[in-house]
């Protein structure tokens, strides 16, 4: 299983993916970007750990506050591996206007946050400093082989069952060679910064609709 997951994970380097965030600077309210919540969304909360990846956290938080993620999708969902989203192109090839330094040991950064279930990390191309807006959420503790190669920066601390529900959507063969492309949209209706946790870590809440 680990060998198969490693092969699938190589596709994380095949397309430009996420550049993530949050120095977790200030916690001012996110701007009103016009996103309308219908009342039937599910949600999950990402807690940002700037002690491990300050550049990534800052970038991510800025994107959330700017409303960048509103209306985007989770375009790649792989059972026993991860769910990936945050691409304005919706196919793993896009990002925001800037890229950031990859905060992981292979790139000279001592990031001790391990890729276990619920951990949020940045996608990237083969270039170490290519992360932009795309991020992925780990489904299992077997994702630790990504440690040192990708910038883990946060964790889903509430609503992991929402992320699990992505797996209920039928998937077709994706460009990664896996059954990873959702046949119905998994849409981020709105993302916003919310209050810090008890330890002062900044948090973002993502409201999503799963399927039609």
Over residues 139-161, the mean pLDDT reads 98
User: Strand 135-138 and strand 82-85: pairing?
Assistant: antiparallel
pLDDT over 70, % of the chain: 82
Over residues 176-193, the mean pLDDT reads 97
SS3 163: helix
Is residue 29 a part of any domain in this protein?
Answer: no
Is residue 56 a part of any domain in this protein?
Answer: yes
**What pLDDT score was predicted for residue 39?**
55
Mean pLDDT of the chain: 87
Question: Residue 43 and residue 61: Cα distance in Å, rounded?
Answer: 17
Q: What pTM, to 2 d.p., does this model score?
A: 0.85
Domains held by the chain: number: 1
Is residue 167 a part of any domain in this protein?
Answer: yes
Q: What is the pLDDT of residues 3-26, one digit of tens each?
A: 444 544 444 444 333 333 222 333
Q: What is the pLDDT of residues 79-90, one digit of tens each?
A: 999 999 999 999
| Residue 167, domain CATH | 2.40.100.10
Q: Is the pLDDT of residue 43 over 70?
A: yes
pLDDT over 90, % of the chain: 79
Partners of 207 in the beta sheet?
43, 190
More confident of the two residues 6 and 93:
93
**What pLDDT score was predicted for residue 27?**
34
Q: Is the pLDDT of residue 106 over 50?
A: yes
**What pLDDT score was predicted for residue 212?**
79
Q: Is the pLDDT of residue 29 over 90?
A: no
N-to-C CA span, the chain: 32
Q: Are 211 and 169 in contact (CB under 8 A)?
A: yes
Residue that the structure tokens 């699938």 belong to: 8
Is residue 30 a part of any domain in this protein?
Answer: no
Is residue 28 a part of any domain in this protein?
Answer: no
Give which of 182, 137, 188, 144 is closest to 163, Cα–Cα. 137
**What pLDDT score was predicted for residue 153?**
98
138 HSE (CA, 13 A, CB side): 27
Q: What is the pLDDT of residues 45-76, one digit of tens each?
A: 999 999 999 999 999 999 999 999 999 999 99
Question: Residue 9 and residue 78: Cα distance in Å, rounded?
Answer: 10
The tokens for 86 are: 């945050």
Question: Residue 13 and residue 118: Cα distance in Å, rounded?
Answer: 21
Structural domain including 128 reads 2-23+40-210
Question: Which of 8-12, 31-35, 169-173 is predicted most confidently?
Answer: 169-173
**What pLDDT score was predicted for residue 33?**
44
Range of lowest pLDDT (34-38, 64-68, 112-116, 195-199): 34-38
Is residue 35 a part of any domain in this protein?
Answer: no
Is residue 132 a part of any domain in this protein?
Answer: yes
């Amino acid at each position: 299983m680990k060998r198969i997951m490693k092969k699938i994970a190589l596709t994380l380097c095949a397309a430009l993916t996420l550049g993530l965030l949050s120095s977790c600077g200030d916690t001012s309210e996110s701007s009103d970007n016009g996103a309308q919540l219908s009342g039937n969304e599910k949600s999950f909360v990402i807690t940002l750990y700037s002690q491990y990846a300050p550049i990534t956290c800052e970038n991510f938080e800025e994107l959330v506050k700017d409303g960048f993620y509103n209306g985007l999708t989770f375009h790649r969902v792989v059972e026993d591996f991860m769910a990936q989203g945050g691409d304005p192109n919706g196919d793993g090839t896009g990002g925001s206007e800037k890229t950031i330094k990859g905060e992981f040991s292979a790139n000279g950064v001592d990031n001790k946050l391990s890729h276990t279930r619920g951990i949020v990390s940045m996608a990237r191309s083969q270039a170490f400093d290519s992360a932009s807006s795309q991020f992925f959420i780990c489904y299992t503790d077997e994702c630790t082989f990504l440690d040192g190669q990708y910038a883990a920066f946060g964790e889903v601390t509430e609503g992991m069952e929402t992320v699990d529900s992505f797996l209920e959507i039928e998937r077709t063969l994706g460009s990664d060679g896996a059954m990873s492309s959702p046949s119905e949209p998994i849409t981020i209706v709105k993302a916003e910064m919310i209050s810090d946790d008890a330890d002062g870590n900044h948090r973002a809440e993502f409201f999503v609709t799963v399927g039609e």
